[in-house]
């Protein structure tokens, strides 16, 4: 079974389901019209997470469905029996009891004084991303946005701005005593809009890892000058890129002799964990370059091996890649990752 797939052949009490998987099962069970109304209240990120969890579900035992639905009904009942807190009443019920002429003004004042929705929302977004978006705004807007974001969030966002911007924003923040309600709302809505998908698809990608792989395929004549230039501005970034230019899957470009040489220099326990999460073709490549007895033993261990955290697999694979890179520097092995290297003859 591929990692992330879910099969529920045992009683639900013994199944460890994530919240997203439970939500996915519930969505597939309920009437579509009911589901449609429920999904309107979820964020884009929550919908995406449920969709991915839904795609991972293979088969579901009826007992599991009953358990998920029962938990949902129980939670729903307990919530409906609880009285609203003062804060919930002030934000959710009180506005409906006030006449229309004063409702918007009073609700706006109460919301900005007691609601933490915007602060909570900003705390879920990367501070660097928020800082990048704010850089295109007027300094006064930046100052208001940081005041609305709360002290903790604002401090984290300021860390990603340059010294001059931090100075100007801090000065403006100290001079603010009152902000028109409409302006505060506009700033909040604008920042939320910039941070949301706006209905478009979003491709989640590691720019650092992809960039490292691109540079790893440039070939040394172009690669080294570029890395040296990056190092002048950010040495840590340059070193990180250098370490990630080759990933575990790139070991598939090694010839059999190189694989055999690598096997002599790596720890067997690390190899076992690394192959646990490796592509089957690459796994077979390593096993085919071992003795029949060693390959048989390792294959048997892989079959009886329990689940391993992805972080441990990544660490083991990175350790082997570092050994391989060291051997490449010594001229013992040679990668062929698409760079403009000399032709082999």
- CA angle, 71 then 73 then 77, to 5°: 115
Give kind and range of the element (H or E) at residue 7.
Answer: strand 6-8
Q: Are 309 and 240 in contact (CB under 8 A)?
A: no
The DSSP 8-state label assigned to residue 90 in this structure reads: I
Architecture of domain 116-195: Orthogonal Bundle (1.10)
> Which positions ≥6 away from 178 have C-beta within 8 Å?
none
Q: Do the first three CATH levels of 6-81 and 248-340 match, i.e. the same topology?
A: yes
Token pair 């001079």 is found at 175
Q: Are 131 and 105 in contact (CB under 8 A)?
A: no
What pLDDT was estimated at residue 52?
A: 83
What pLDDT was estimated at residue 199?
A: 44
pTM of the model: 0.40
CATH says 6-81 is which class?
mainly alpha
Length of the chain: 345
Q: Are 4 and 55 in contact (CB under 8 A)?
A: no
The CATH T-level fold of domain 205-245 is 1.20.5
What pLDDT was estimated at residue 104?
A: 66
Q: Name the β-bridge partners of 57.
A: 6
Give the CATH number of domain 248-340.
1.10.220.30
What pLDDT was estimated at residue 263?
A: 92
Of 322, 214, 211, nearest to 274 (Cα)? 322
pLDDT tens across the length of the chain (345 residues): 444 444 444 344 445 677 888 888 888 877 788 778 878 877 887 888 888 887 776 667 777 777 777 777 777 666 555 445 566 655 666 666 666 766 666 666 666 666 677 888 899 888 988 998 898 888 899 999 998 888 899 999 999 988 888 889 899 988 888 888 778 888 888 888 888 754 455 555 567 778 887 887 777 788 788 888 888 888 888 888 887 777 888 888 888 999 999 999 998 888 999 998 888 888 999 999 999 999 999 989 988 888 888 888 888 988 898 888 888 878 888 776 544 444 444
Burial class (CB in 10 A: 0-12, 13-18, 19+), 336: middle
DSSP 3-state of 1 = coil
What pLDDT was estimated at residue 68?
A: 78
Q: Are 195 and 130 in contact (CB under 8 A)?
A: yes
Residue 199 φ/ψ region, left for φ over 0, alpha for ψ in the -120 to 50 degree band, beta for the rest: left
Q: Are 227 and 238 in contact (CB under 8 A)?
A: yes
Give kind and range of the element (H or E) at residue 8.
Answer: strand 6-8
Burial class (CB in 10 A: 0-12, 13-18, 19+), 331: exposed
What pLDDT was estimated at residue 78?
A: 60
What pLDDT was estimated at residue 88?
A: 62
Q: How far is residue 252's CA from residue 230's CA, in Å, rounded to a whole number? A: 29
What pLDDT was estimated at residue 223?
A: 79
Q: Are 263 and 230 in contact (CB under 8 A)?
A: no
* Domain layout of the chain by residue ranges: 6-81, 116-195, 205-245, 248-340
Helix-helix angle 163-175:139-149, to 10 degrees: 70
């Amino acid at each position: 079974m591929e990692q992330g797939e879910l099969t529920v052949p045992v009683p639900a009490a013994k199944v460890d389901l994530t919240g997203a998987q439970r939500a996915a099962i519930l969505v597939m069970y309920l009437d579509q019209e009911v589901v449609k109304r429920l999904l309107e209240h979820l964020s884009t990120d929550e919908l995406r997470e449920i969709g991915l969890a839904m795609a991972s579900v293979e088969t579901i035992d009826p007992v599991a469905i009953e358990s998920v639905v029962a938990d949902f009904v129980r939670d729903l009942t307990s919530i409906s029996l609880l009285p609203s807190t003062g804060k919930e009443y002030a934000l959710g019920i009180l506005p409906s009891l006030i006449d229309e002429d004063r409702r918007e003004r009073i609700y706006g004042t109460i919301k900005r004084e007691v609601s933490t929705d915007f602060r909570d929302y900003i705390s879920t977004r990367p501070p660097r991303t928020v800082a990048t978006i704010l850089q295109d705004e007027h300094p006064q807007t930046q100052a208001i946005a940081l005041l609305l974001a709360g002290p903790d969030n604002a401090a984290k966002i300021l860390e990603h701005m340059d010294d001059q911007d931090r100075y100007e924003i801090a000065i403006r923040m100290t001079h603010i005593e009152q902000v028109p309600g409409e302006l505060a709302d506009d700033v909040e809505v604008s920042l939320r809009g910039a941070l949301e998908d706006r209905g478009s698809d979003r491709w989640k990608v590691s720019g650092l890892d992809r960039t490292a792989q691109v540079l790893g395929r440039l070939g040394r004549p172009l690669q080294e000058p570029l890395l040296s230039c990056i190092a002048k501005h950010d040495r840590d970034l340059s070193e990180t890129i250098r370490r990630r230019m080759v990933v575990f899957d790139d070991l598939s470009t090694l010839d059999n002799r190189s694989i055999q040489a690598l096997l002599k220099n790596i720890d067997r326990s690390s190899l076992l964990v690394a192959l646990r999460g490796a592509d089957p073709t690459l796994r077979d490549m390593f096993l085919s370059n071992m003795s029949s007895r060693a390959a048989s033993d390792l294959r048997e261990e892989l079959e009886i091996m329990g689940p391993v955290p992805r972080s441990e697999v990544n660490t083991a694979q990175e350790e082997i890649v570092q050994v391989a890179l060291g051997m490449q520097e010594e001229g013992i092995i040679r990668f062929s990752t698409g760079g403009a290297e000399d032709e082999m003859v």
